Amino acid sequence: MNATWCLTTWLTFLLGSVNSQSNINVQNLYTLLFTTNNYNTLIRPSRNQSVPLSVHVIFTLYGISGVDEIEQKLTATGWLEIAWTDELLSWTPENFGGLKYIYYPQGEVWKPDISLQNGFSKLEELGSKFISVFIDSNGLVKWRPFQVFESKCDIDSTYFPFDRQTCHLDFVAWSLSNVDVHITKGGKGIELAKDLQRHGEWKILSSSSLNLAESDETKVRFTIVIQRKPMYALINYIMPILLLSILDIFTFKIPVDTGERIGYVITVWLAYAVFLTIISDSLPQTSESIPIVSIYIMIQIFIATVIVIISAIESGCAHRSDDESVYCLLQALAKKCRKRSVQLESEISKSLPGDETCVTWKEAMSALDKILFWVCLTIFVLSTLVTLLIAGLKYI
């Protein structure tokens, strides 16, 4: 029993002493790599300088922070995982207590000057001074800079609020050519974080990555496809417009000879104006692509304006004297025409009942209201269906 215990203790001590990693080991390794070997951050870490260094880039998307239609800008939060092999930072772990990896400040090692080529803000270095790079004994260096990326994106708001946008993030080695550095996507290229941050207005549909090679540079393109969540716009923008349009059409169900009709139609028109003032800041404010919803709203406002004009004209006609009927007025106009008076009078006589029957203004306006009600209702239904169909097909 004592022999077994002694053997176990001796093996544990022996193995532990071989693989122990003390601060002295780390200090000696740092001294060897960065002092004794005269490591220079300005020298590309390849023993054969004629061979381009391969750099692999993976982008992990943490969330969408915002989309600006006016400035054509996408703001995304995430981090890059950039990996390459530094042949000048390799060692034998057994010589340093089995030390297999270390961490070192990002500013103290060579790293490719990768930047966002289609960035919206000023060109600056990725990451921060407090970020360290991971270095293993084989010289593999991993750099994970976290940042808020603001990139240019062509925002097309034509199908608002059912629009979807495709935005690109192009990363390139800014001052290094493809002779020095060859940038490629690593793994899947772009990945979504497990704790992906949700956005209240946009959702991520898909993502992809692509290697791009140009004449003197190589770059990686990460593509993000996002889609607007339409429920808020439907409830707060579309539904009120639909309800106001229906109220406007039912103006023709109010008798024209009542005084409430003009007040009713003016109130509905003012409701349009107040509502548009409220939502004007929420609609896409760009002239590059006019949203279909804006065209639809303008059509409804135009119809509302026409209804106000028609109601004003009908109110004036309805208060004419019954002695001056529609038929009698047409007869009088026909007689005043010097050239075609006889022809006009005969045509009017054929189209209307005999001379003994006169249609009053009130009856004429009532019949006209029935026609206008169905005409406006048809225009409203067709314009709504066409708008929803065009926008809905794009959404699907």
Q: What is the pLDDT of residues 270-286, one digit of tens each?
A: 888 888 888 777 777 77
Model confidence band, residue 134 (pLDDT cutoffs 50, 70, 90): very high
Q: Which of 313, 294, 307 is nearest to 372 (CA)?
A: 307
Residue 209 CB contacts under 8 Å (≥ 6 apart), including other chains: 59, 185, 188, 189, 190, 220, 221, 222, 223
Show the CA angle centred on residue 356, arms to residues 351 and 358, nearest 5°: 65
Whether pLDDT at 314 is above 60: yes
Distance CA 302, CA 281 (A): 21
Minimal CA–CA distance to 223: which of 174, 177, 176, 185?
185
Which residue do the tokens 């995430």 mark? 78
Q: What is the pLDDT of residue 37?
A: 87
pTM of the predicted structure, to 2 decimals: 0.74
Residues 6 or more apart from 146 whose CB is under 8 A from it? 78, 79, 127, 131
Please, which pLDDT band fits residue 82 given cuts at 50, 70 and 90? very high
Closest CA to 149 of 123, 128, 119: 119
Give the model's confidence band at 347: pLDDT under 50 very low, under 70 low, under 90 confident, else very high. low
% pLDDT > 90, the chain: 12
pLDDT of residue 310: 86
Query: Quick one: average pLDDT of 358-384?
Result: 81
According to the model, what pLDDT value does residue 358 have? 57
Q: Is the pLDDT of residue 309 over 80?
A: yes
pLDDT digits 0-9 by tens, 211-247 = 887 777 788 999 999 998 888 888 888 888 889 889 9
Neighbour tally for 290: CB within 10 Å: 14
CB 180 within 8 A of CB 215: no
Dist. CA 168–CA 318, nearest whole Å: 63
Mean of pLDDT over the chain:
79
Question: With 90 as the cut, is the pLDDT of residue 299 above it?
Answer: no
pLDDT value of position 287: 67
Instruction: With a cut of 80, say whether residue 170 has pLDDT above it.
Output: yes
| CA contacts within 13 A on the Cβ side of 127 | 19
pLDDT of res. 388: 81
